[in-house]
């Protein structure tokens, strides 16, 4: 195995240093994207964000040498590296982590499929997905060779704040960016006027002309530290999702460490970690009734909530950063 380059989008490097924990004795280098948070917040600046992906892909190739291994924390950056290596016949081994491809329509879908398939056709392009079910979906949608993809569930990140279970009641929290079903969250809140609800999201992703119940307080495009504080002070985390694709895992991990009971949509990615009625409450897409009833039960039976949180902490123990780093090492070692 030659030199290792870890490429990432959001810094600082210390946030992801654990990725290299299994690479003792290997020469490890880091390449960071020139990240601008405004390019994520404002829809009209999205092309600038993708230009940032492209720029760091070029810089990663120019910084590394023939036969080196490039590991991309962001899948899209890794795909761009694969496209460039294929187009210009550049010799690199590429491992792009955690492919997530949410449903798109029209021209965007066509462009994405064209770019990804071209990257997949590069013989030394490898990548990971979060679950077997996700892999099956992608095998049907893209031109993927089975030997180039590995199933690797996400790890929790080191440094998450940890708290014991709290018995006081505050509010139900929903937050995050991808695939949150705000209509379901608001519908459950409107049927539970005696309880408070707090939501945090991207303004650009909010549904148009949605009715906001009076017992819901919304925050938009806030800093991560403020997001984490609102999450920490909640009694219940509700994460209704719009699709079965991977989403909500970072918030899920943070809630588990904070000992906050979770209600979320049953997806193959979520099921890597949680079981319905054992370590969380899992619902179907669009199921307002079960979400509402689960909130009522968790408020009335706090001992059950405590049990769910303890079981959730036990369930994620095997998904440590160290185990994830070792899995990355094994994937590269087997292919070099």
pLDDT, tens only, 126-152: 999 999 999 999 999 999 999 999 999
Query: What does the pLDDT read at residue 1?
Result: 63
Name the fold adopted by 172-315: Rossmann fold (3.40.50)
Query: What does the pLDDT read at residue 177?
Result: 85
Burial zone of 299 (CB within 10 Å; 0-12 exposed, 13-18 middle, 19+ buried) = middle
Q: Whose CA is closest to 249, among 122, 144, 139, 160? A: 160
Q: Give the pLDDT confidence of 283-305 residue by residue, as tens digits.
A: 999 999 999 999 999 999 999 99
Mean pLDDT of 56-71: 97
The listed CATH number (3.30.70.20, 3.50.50.60, 1.10.150.20, 3.40.50.2000) that belongs to domain 4-154+321-334? 3.40.50.2000
287 membership: H or E segment, kind and range: none
Mean pLDDT of 99-108: 85
Two domains, one topology: 4-154+321-334 and 172-315: yes
Query: What does the pLDDT read at residue 37?
Result: 78
Query: What does the pLDDT read at residue 2?
Result: 85
CA–CA distance, 2 with 122 (Å, rounded to integer): 19
E-strand ranges in 47-194 read 69-72, 93-96, 125-129, 149-151, 172-175
Give residue limits of the domains in the chain: 4-154+321-334, 172-315
- Give the other-Cβ count within 10 Å of 106's Cβ: 7
pTM of the entire predicted model: 0.88
Q: How far is CA 90 from CA 6, 57, 87, 270, 331, in A?
A: 18, 13, 8, 37, 21
């Amino acid at each position: 195995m030659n030199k290792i380059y870890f490429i990432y989008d959001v810094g600082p490097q210390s946030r992801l240093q654990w990725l290299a924990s299994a690479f003792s004795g290997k020469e490890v280098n880091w390449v960071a994207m020139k990240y601008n948070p405004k390019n994520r917040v404002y829809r009209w600046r999205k092309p600038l964000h993708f230009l940032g992906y492209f720029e760091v892909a070029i810089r990663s190739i120019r910084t590394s040498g023939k036969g080196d291994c490039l590991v991309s924390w962001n899948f899209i950056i890794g795909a761009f590296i694969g496209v460039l290596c294929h187009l210009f016949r550049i010799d690199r081994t590429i491992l792009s982590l955690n492919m997530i491809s949410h449903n798109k329509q029209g021209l965007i879908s066509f462009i994405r499929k064209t770019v990804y398939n071209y990257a997949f056709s590069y013989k030394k392009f490898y990548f990971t997905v979060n679950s077997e079910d996700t892999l099956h979906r992608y095998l049907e949608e893209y031109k993927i060779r089975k030997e180039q993809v590995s199933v690797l569930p996400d790890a929790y990140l080191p440094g998450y704040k940890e708290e014991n279970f709290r018995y006081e009641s505050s509010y139900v929290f929903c937050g995050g960016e991808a695939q949150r079903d705000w209509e379901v969250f608001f519908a459950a809140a409107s049927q539970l006027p005696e309880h408070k609800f707090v939501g945090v999201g991207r303004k650009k992703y909010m549904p148009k002309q949605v009715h906001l119940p009076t017992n819901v307080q919304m925050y938009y495009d806030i800093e991560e530290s403020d997001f984490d504080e609102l999450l920490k002070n909640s009694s219940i985390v509700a994460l209704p999702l719009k699709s079965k694709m991977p989403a909500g895992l970072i918030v899920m991990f943070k809630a588990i460490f904070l000992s906050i009971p979770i209600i979320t949509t049953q997806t193959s990615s979520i099921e890597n970690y949680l079981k319905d009625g054992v370590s969380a409450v899992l619902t179907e897409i669009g199921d307002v009734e079960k979400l509402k009833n689960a909130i009522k039960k968790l408020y009335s039976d706090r001992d059950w909530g405590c049990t769910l949180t303890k079981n959730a902490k036990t369930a994620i123990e095997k998904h440590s950063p160290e185990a994830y780093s070792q899995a990355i090492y094994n994937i590269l070692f087997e292919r070099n």
